[in-house]
Structure formats: C-alpha cells, structure tokens
Structure 1
Amino acid sequence: MPEQVLVVLNQPSADAPPHIQGARPFEAADPAAPLVRPLDLGLTRGDGIFETISVVHGRPMALDHHLRRFAASAAKLALPAPDVEAWRSAILAAIEELGSVEEASVKTVMTRGVEGDGRPTGWVHASRSPDYGGVRREGIRVITLDRGYRHDVERTSPWLLAGAKTLSYAVNRSVLREAASRGADDVIFVSSDGFVLEGPTSTVLYRLGNRLLTPGTGLGILDGTTQASIFRYAEGRGFETGYAQVRPAELRRAEAIWLVSSVRLAAPVRELDGEEFPVDAELSAGINSYLLELG
C-alpha cells in the first residue's frame, strides 16, 4: 500500500470553469511531481483554505463537519464555493487508494489559483499518520501566548479572517517554534483582553467537576470538529457540556485540560506555563478510544 496519495480536482468549484473541459472530476497524481503553478496565489500570498481530516481504518471522521467548515472558510475569503460533492468524492477516492491503514489523515487544499485566471486550484493529499499513542497517554507541555487580538475580533474586524482555516500559517508555525524555545510542546492562545481562545492547530477543552467545557463561539476561533465528537461522548457518560468564556486564571482551576485536534485527537495537558498540571488518564483514554472507534 502507498505511503501517500495525491488527487487533483479538475473543477474545485461549480462556480468557476474547469481546468480542462470534458476531463474527469479528479485524477490521481504523483505526490513527488510538480503540481502548483509558481504564480498560484496559494503560494505567493497564502490565499487559500484547507482542512485536515482524520481517517481510522479507512473511514474519515466528521467528514460532513469538515466539509461545512471548508465551505465556511471559502465564504470568509470570498473564494468560489467548493463543490462539496466533488470534494467528497475526491476525498473518498484518495482514502480508498491509500488503503485501510490504522490511522491516516487527509488534507484538502483550495487556493484562489493564478491571479486573474478565475479558476481555483484544488487537491486532496492522503497520508499515513505518525504514532500519537504516547502523546495521548502522557500528555504535552503547553504555554499561553498573547494572540494580539481582542476576543471580539471576529465581529469588529471580519477582514482579519479570524475563524477561517486559511493557508496563511506562518504565525501558527512561529508560535510552535516559540514554544519549543521555552521547553514546551504546544500553545494556548489568549486574546489581548485576556480570554482563552484555542491552540494554533487545536481546540481547548477542560473539565470542571461534571462539566466539559470549551471557549465560547464567536471568539474568532475555529468550530472544533473533534470537540463536537467529544461532547457527544461526554454527554453519553453523563457529563454536562457547554461553551464558556474563560480567563487563564480560571482555566488553571480546571481538573484537566486537553488540546484536541483531528489527527492527534485528545492530548492532555501535563504542564501549563512551566507548572505541572493533573492529567485525567481515565477520561483521556476513554475519549481517545471513542474517537478511534468512530472510524
């Protein structure tokens, strides 16, 4: 079975012309071969969107939710609307070609294409996932960093694209380098006016007694696909779930914290800003087992 699979869409949006008239909706391509044109705005400007979808034993997790979020990000960037069914078919074809490996991921990418061309570029890349078993059991060291925006930036400044999953990821990579320089593995962003937001590639989840909570919506953060699945699991176990605006001092009073994402799943926080933090090993194991069973 291949280690990775690449599928290129001929017409990523029904609102834009195809790249080749009469061609198939998508074609497999060599992942090592040149694909994107040098003047593609996804390369020169980071002008595009993406989603990363976890795949377990050949089944994509929360596919509909990811596709909805993909379309929502396109709308925020005023990109042509993704042809959701074309993307769904390309995703499933890539997964089938990769084979039923234990854990994999699929990344969907759509760019604005070459300036003035009017045709977005789109592709799907499927690959086997690293082993995150140790991280899921033992946890991660996390620091809090100021994101530099107020918590209401999504409402006051929609042109900043807060809450869209864009290709402009230089800041997200920079904060991880900052974390590494401080002996940490990951980051929790805090707004400039002091509210907990999200991680650079994850959603913040925390437990207060019998409640499982995440920062409130409308904070310029992504609508968490994995968090939504975890809430369904927690509610089935008798937990209350909900959204709450929380400050770092309140977060530190939680019994447990996780950074949750599509591929790594639920990573418990074992250290926060240099101080040890309790890990709920039993609940962490239950959450991750549930997420894997969804596949």
Structure 2
Amino acid sequence: MKKDQMTPGRRALLRAATVFGLAAAAGCSGTERPTTPRPTASSGAAAGGPPAARALKPSAYRLQPMAGQGPPHAARALPRVRRKPILRMDGQGRSMFLTFDDGPDPRYTPGILRTLREYDVHATFFVCGEMAVDNKDLLREMAGDGHLIGNHTWTHPLLPKMSRSAMREEIERTCEVVEDAVGEPPAWFRAPYGAWNRNAFQLGADLGMEPLAWTVDTLDWTEPGTASIIRRVRAGAGPGVVVLSHDAGGDRSQSVEALRTYLPELIDGGYRLTVPSRYGT
C-alpha cells in the first residue's frame, strides 16, 4: 500500500476529528464561553440563534425562578376585599378583644400598657400615623408586649369624602411608619368614625389588611365618666365581642382608669382577652 493511500476506516476517523475541531473552535470564538446551557423551545425560551445571544446571564436567571418553584413565602398573602367590616370575632374559648384608637399618646397609652401588662393580656391598638411618627418607642413597646398594631389612617379623616389617591396616602403612610418602627406592616385596618366605602375596603386589602370595626362602643371619646365606660363594657361583654376604646384624641384619663376596673372583672368572669388572628372569618 502506498504512503498516501488510506483505508476507509482511517479516512472516517480523520473526518470525525476535523468536525470536532471545527465545533470546538466555534465555541471559543467569543470573548467569553457561555456558562449556562442553551435555552430550548421546551424551556419557554426561543430556540435557534447562537447560544451567547439567547442565554440569560447567570445572575438574571437565578432571579427568575420557574413558575411554581419560587421560594416559600415570596409574596405576602392578601385578604379578600370585603363589602363590610368585621364586627365580631370568633369567641371560641370565651375570647374577647379590646381595641384602642387614635394613639399612641405619651400621656395615656403608657398607663393602658401597664395595666395590660399587669394582667398579662393583649390588645389591639389602631394608631394614627401623625401620632405614631413621633412616638415610635411606644409602638415598639406595644409590639414587644405582644399587642397588635393596626392602621387608623394618618390624620383621622372621613374617608368617604376623600379621593382614592388621597385615601391611599393616608393609609399607606401609616403602614410605613408602623413597619419602620416594629419591622412589619399592620395586618388590620379601622376606618375613622367607622365610615367605610368601596375604596377603603379595596385599598386596605391591597395593603394586606383586614377591616375591623367593633361590637361594643364605650363612647369614652365623649368623656362620659369612668363609671359609664365600665357599665358599657360590663353590659356588652360576651364571647367574640370587640370593645372600642381610645388612648388619644382628648383627655383619656377616664379610659385609663376604667380599664383598671373592668379588665380584672372580665378575667374573673372567664373571658380570655386576646388579639385577632391574622385574617378574620
């Protein structure tokens, strides 16, 4: 056999080596070899074209998890949009719910917190942003004691008379103050004066909050006298009842004093004073 003659098998091996060499050269022709696999039509990316032009950058790819495979709790679950506020909670275990509006006020809120701490019970405070922004220490004290902090708007306006954008600012700013102070936004919202409309329900839900009203109004904002406040709580007590009181917005010394009388009475009556779960029923 002559030196320049090759068997068919040897020619096949040389052809294969040549093809492999050309493919390797094409893969290194760019400034940087792609480190991610080439997308395919089955992955949802467009097929065809050079891999470097089609593939996502590694960091961008990691920031876009496949549908249904994102990290747990990636998004905060939102409540449904209600048509009316919650007036009464689940009274299982003879639970009752004390709520205080308009604060925090450094003249009256600390006294309420002391009484609640003395009896080891929890309440919900619906705060106004214009009060909360200068009293974040009281918000932190509330949260540290296990109380809930709800949103009562920024300036306590009549919401149905406001535009949607103005209403959103009132509610959203207060959410931001609460989150800045205690590390998480409110999960409950109460409209000033109990005046709700569709926008109030929608915006509250959009911001992750349930609308809570009340079952028993102590009318303490009228300063009716300590005995009158106590009498209204006694008369309205019952499983699932939500009691409305105030810790700001005027002279609330009667509210502070009344709590010291009716709270131990409720406990002696077998009631469990607590806070609502994240979303009402």
Per residue, is there more helix in 1 or in 2? Answer: 2
Per residue, is there more strand in 1 or in 2? Answer: 1
Structure 2-normalised TM-score?
A: 0.24
Structure 1-normalised TM-score?
A: 0.23
Higher relative contact order by CA 8 Å / sep ≥ 6: 1 or 2?
2
